[in-house]
Every structure is written in structure tokens, then in C-alpha cells.
């Protein structure tokens, strides 16, 4: 109980905007930003232990290197998430990047905002995917926002529209 209260004091709120070609994570309290393409480079030379070599711009730069498998887990013709495990790894990395100055492992309130492939709204399954991505990345609470981008300078919780609100 006390540990959760302490974590709450140091973690804050994170606003995640997801596109197929960009992942933007903003720490609303201290202004830290992770803004990179959502690529992940995996070292698959040892099939028993696949390791992450790089994420973001560094992974994108390794696309020509045949030793690594470079993918974008947020690129699929029908959905925004194509590979849940890799998407979770990329999101975890991004959230940790905006919390670098903190000693305690972050467990922020996360606002997930998918920006693409929203024709007809989000299904229950898509909503669950985004919530579970954030929870797997360490969120203690997740809010899903569909609509216009939120104001980062004058953030107000009343701006958040969940998918079931239309």
C-alpha cells in the first residue's frame, strides 16, 4: 500500500499517441517526450534467446543488417497493432525513456490515443488490445481516447473521450 502511494507520487501521467509510422509518448508533468518510429530490431542469431538490439530510430537504421530482424509492430493493413508482444516491448521502452530521471520503476496513468484505422470506431477487442498494451508496459491505470489530439499545454481530464462516448 505504501509502495503504491510512493509510486503514484513519482510516476504521473503519460499521453501515448500511436500511428503506424510514429509513436509519441509525452510525460505530462515534466514534459519529457519520446517521439520515434516504432521499430524494433531483434537479434535472432540464437533461436533459444531472442534479444532486443534496438528500438526506434536505432532499430530503423539496422534494417539493412541481415543479423537482425527489424519490424514495426504497429503496422498492419486492418489494425493498428500487428504484433502484440513487440508492440508491448516498444511501448515499455518509450515509457521508460520519458521516466529516465526517476529512481522508482514507473507505473503511470496512461492515456492511449490511436490516431489511425478508426473508421467505424474501435471494437471491444481493439480497446482491450490498447488497454492491455499499456498495462503490460507498466501502467497502473489506462484511459483510451478517441478524437482530436489533446492539448499538452492546458491538459484537462474533461478532454478525454473514450470510444464508447462516440
The domain locations on the chain are 2-36+77-165, 39-72
- Give Dmax over CA atoms of the chain in angstroms: 49
CA atoms in the 13 A half-sphere facing the CB of 97 = 17
Q: For the stretch 83-121, what's the b/e string if a residue is b when 16 or more beta carbons lie within 10 angstroms of its beta carbon?
A: beebbbbbbbbbbbbbbeebeeebbbbbbbbbeebeeee
Given CATH 3.30.1330.120, say whether it is the number of domain 2-36+77-165.
Answer: no
The pTM of the full predicted model, rounded to 2 decimals, is: 0.85
pLDDT of residue 166: 47
122-154 residue pLDDT tens: 889 999 999 999 999 999 999 998 888 877 776
Mean pLDDT of the chain: 85
How many Cβ atoms sit within 10 Å of the Cβ of residue 29? 13
Instruction: Check residue 147 and give left, alpha or beta (phi > 0: left; psi -120 to 50: alpha).
Output: left
Closest CA to 35 of 119, 123, 110, 97: 97
pLDDT of residue 48: 86
Average pLDDT, stretch 50-68? 90
pLDDT of residue 34: 93
80-105 residue pLDDT tens: 999 999 999 999 999 999 887 666 66
Amino acid at each position: 500500500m505504501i509502495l503504491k502511494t510512493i509510486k503514484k507520487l513519482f510516476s504521473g501521467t503519460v499521453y501515448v499517441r500511436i500511428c503506424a509510422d510514429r509513436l509519441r509518448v509525452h510525460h505530462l508533468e515534466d514534459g519529457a517526450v519520446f517521439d520515434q518510429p516504432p521499430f524494433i530490431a531483434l537479434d535472432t542469431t540464437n533461436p533459444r534467446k531472442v534479444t532486443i538490439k534496438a528500438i526506434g530510430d536505432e532499430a530503423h537504421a539496422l534494417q539493412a543488417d541481415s543479423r537482425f530482424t527489424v519490424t514495426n509492430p504497429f503496422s498492419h493493413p486492418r489494425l493498428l497493432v500487428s504484433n502484440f508482444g513487440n508492440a508491448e516491448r516498444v511501448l515499455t521502452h518509450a515509457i521508460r525513456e520519458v521516466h529516465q530521471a526517476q529512481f522508482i520503476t514507473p507505473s503511470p496513468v496512461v492515456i492511449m490515443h490511436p490516431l489511425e484505422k478508426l473508421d467505424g470506431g474501435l471494437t471491444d477487442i481493439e480497446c482491450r488490445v490498447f488497454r492491455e498494451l499499456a498495462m503490460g508496459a507498466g501502467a497502473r491505470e489506462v484511459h483510451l481516447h478517441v478524437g482530436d489530439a489533446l492539448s499538452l499545454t492546458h491538459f484537462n481530464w474533461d478532454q478525454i473521450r473514450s470510444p464508447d462516448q462516440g
